[in-house]
Structure 1
Amino acid sequence: MTDSNEFWHKLDRLVATSNLKIERPRGTSHPRYPSFIYPLDYGYLQDTQAGDMANIDVWIGSLSAKKVTAIICSVDLEKRDTEIKILLDCTSGESQGILNIHNTGSQSAILLIRAESIAI
């Protein structure tokens, strides 16, 4: 297995062995920015830790493979932090939409797509 494949498989294991909590369901508004409506379910992996010392964030798309399809690496100059967000079961269109969300205001992000993912 190549290093890249090992990375994605370990992310799959992390997701599979974690309790996924949906914090903000699709169609709900952001608590501080009510004009922002979540286009997908958004939550976190319970009992994990990201760079911001909170749980690891996850966007959940419409595919049903229960597989990590991509990650977003972001930097926020206002918060002065960086984060990785897991995209689970996202199509390429959903992934691009989430990337656009994280490329606004003081944020900038890149999308790393899993080469073996089948994103429509």
Structure 2
Amino acid sequence: MTTQPPSAPYQAQPPQYPVPPQYPVQPQYPAPKRRTSSGLSVTAFVLAFLVAPVGLVLGIVALIVDARRPDRTKGLSIAAIAVAIVMVALAVALLVIWLIGSVIADVACGELAGGCPNRGPFF
């Protein structure tokens, strides 16, 4: 019986790639401090919807106070001022429209012979 020599192990191994260079570890910086809104800004924003002139004044005060402190954001104060200005402008526009309508109604009723019957106190 002839025995064959054992076969050689797998000779063609995959090529060994060089190890990639190791870069130095970057220093870890602390997380930036969290900037928050002040309670005055939040109050100004809420009051800008409810009582616009008060919200406008508080928004301006909050903007001035928040500008002096680096840990406070000014975004909510600016939003309160913008909302208050829009609400005041809307109120003024509605008042002007109401006044113009009232004047037009007075002129129209004055031209009628008997006046305007059943006129309420507001129109």
Q: TM-score, normalised by structure 2?
A: 0.21
Between Structure 1 and Structure 2, the one with more strand by share is 1
Look at both structures and tell me which one has the larger radius of gyration over its CA atoms: 2
- TM-score, normalising length from structure 1? 0.22
Return the structure number with greater helix share: 2
